[in-house]
Amino acid sequence: MPHDHTVREIGGGSERVAALDIGKAELVACVRVPNPDRPGRRAQEITAYSTMTRSLLGLADRLRELGVTRVVMEATSDYWKPVFYLLESQGLDPWLVNAKDVKHLPGRPKTDKLDAVWLAKVTERQMIRPSFVPPPQIRLLRDLTRYRADLVNTRTAEKNRVEKLLEDAQIKLSVVASDIFGVSGREMMAALIAGERDPRVLAQLARTGMRPKIPLLEQAFVGRFTDHHAFLLRTMLARIDEAGVDIAAVETKIEELITPFSQTVGRLDEITGVGRTAAHVVIAEIGVDMTRFPTAAHLCSWARFAPGIKESAGRNSGRGATGHGNPYLARVLGEAAVTAGKTDTFLGERYRRIARRRGKKRAIVAVGRSILVIIWHLLSAPGARYRDLGSDFYDNRIGPDRKKRNHVRQLEALGFTVTLEPAA
């Protein structure tokens, strides 16, 4: 139930706002509304509420009673989510804001009450902007795609443990087989667990493409694999299989939720380097409504794929780091950029040109940003389709005169004096 209730009058703006400082068990709400008895003055109410559902419903009733038009809260861990979703379901307009945007001035005392008051003040003066919170349907999809990524990471970590265990037992299967978890590799590991230790017998379990490597496999299985290793390997493989089953179940659920966006998935799938799984993640992280991002640059800035500009005293000190953005979106864009870099396409050539001059890391960020710009245009125009410009786009765009100037400039930089004469 609400407690610690205080009301006082202050001067200030005119909008009816509420700010919430949220903890795990309790939140402090500061409401600032126009004073009906004293024009130009504000009435301020500070109340503490439990984060239990019944108490939050009481908070929603009180906010509606006071005619609050905006409720603002900081992104504090995951504690903001149930409060945000409940107030949203009650017809209020909650805003989630970045804690950096409402940071206290140095030297100010810091308590839950003062934090709520400070947040309410900067809100009524329109000094903050809301963070992107996707609509409910996209949030459900996001939960699944993020959980799928976490499960894949768990399975990958377990696979790495298996490789380390085999190395500990001097079993060099990963030296011969590119994927030790294929059909041949799994049968060989199952035989090891069952007690088989003869390298020749183990090597004969190779299938199809692995058959020519039987002599190498016989050498790879000469080790000291013991019952201790067998116990650990059995446990690790069981966890890998369990994670695989869970991933398949989550993917089935994702396919159900993504059905309304199947055409959008198809159009994103046409982008070089972007597959269906990546398209699912993109939709889950940024949604399909690009009105939240007025331009492609806004989207890139939100995703931290646009380096910041550092300027002081009128002098530009260069571009800063991109900063920490959405890790799930960044991962899928990075993977798409690397995949695109292996293709004979415009994005592939762009990746290689930048990688030669500035390194692979910068190439990944640059091509990831290009992919994000393409995504923004596709989502902003439902009828648009991706068309590859071709790997020769740069060569065709740069005319002979420009190429000539570039070559001359490069030779002069090396200390040569260049005189050009037309060929006969």
State pLDDT tens for residues 92-125: 889 988 766 666 555 556 677 787 887 888 777 7
The whole-number average pLDDT for the span 244-269 is: 95
Output the pLDDT for position 104. 55
Lowest mean pLDDT among 19-28, 171-180, 312-321, 335-344: 312-321
State pLDDT tens for residues 375-404: 999 999 988 999 998 888 877 777 777 888
The whole-number average pLDDT for the span 18-43 is: 85
pLDDT at residue 204 is higher than 50? yes
Return the number of other C-beta atoms located less than 10 Å from residue 268's C-beta.
24
- With cut-offs at 50, 70 and 90, classify the pLDDT of residue 315: low
Using a cut of 0.75, tell me whether the model's pTM lies above it.
yes
pLDDT at residue 44 is higher than 80? yes
Q: Higher-confidence residue: 111 or 350?
A: 350
Q: Helix, strand, or coil here: 416?
A: coil
Output the pLDDT for position 99. 67
Q: Higher-confidence residue: 243 or 13?
A: 243
- Who contacts 284 (Cβ-Cβ below 8 Å, separation ≥6)? 134, 138, 141, 142, 144, 145, 146, 328
Cβ-in-10-Å burial (0-12, 13-18, 19+) of 84 comes to: buried
State pLDDT tens for residues 80-90: 999 999 999 99
**CA nearest to 22, candidates 55, 62, 64:** 55
**CA nearest to 337, candidates 223, 346, 84:** 346
pLDDT at residue 310 is higher than 50? no
Output the pLDDT for position 343. 93
The whole-number average pLDDT for the span 343-352 is: 94
Output the pLDDT for position 100. 66
Output the pLDDT for position 12. 43
- With cut-offs at 50, 70 and 90, classify the pLDDT of residue 79: confident
Q: What is the mean pLDDT of the chain?
A: 86
pLDDT at residue 291 is higher than 60? yes
Output the pLDDT for position 101. 60
- With cut-offs at 50, 70 and 90, classify the pLDDT of residue 33: confident
Q: How far apart are CA 89 and CA 71, in angstroms?
A: 13
Output the pLDDT for position 103. 62
pLDDT at residue 48 is higher than 50? yes
Q: Residues of the chain with pLDDT > 70: what percent? A: 89
Per the listing, tokens 């939709």 go with 283
Output the pLDDT for position 238. 97
Q: How far apart are CA 113 and CA 52, in angstroms?
A: 19
Task: For domain 3-124, give the CATH superfamily.
Answer: Ribonuclease H-like superfamily/Ribonuclease H (3.30.420.10)
Cα 37–chain centre separation: 50
pLDDT at residue 319 is higher than 70? no
Q: How far apart are CA 259 and CA 172, in angstroms?
A: 45
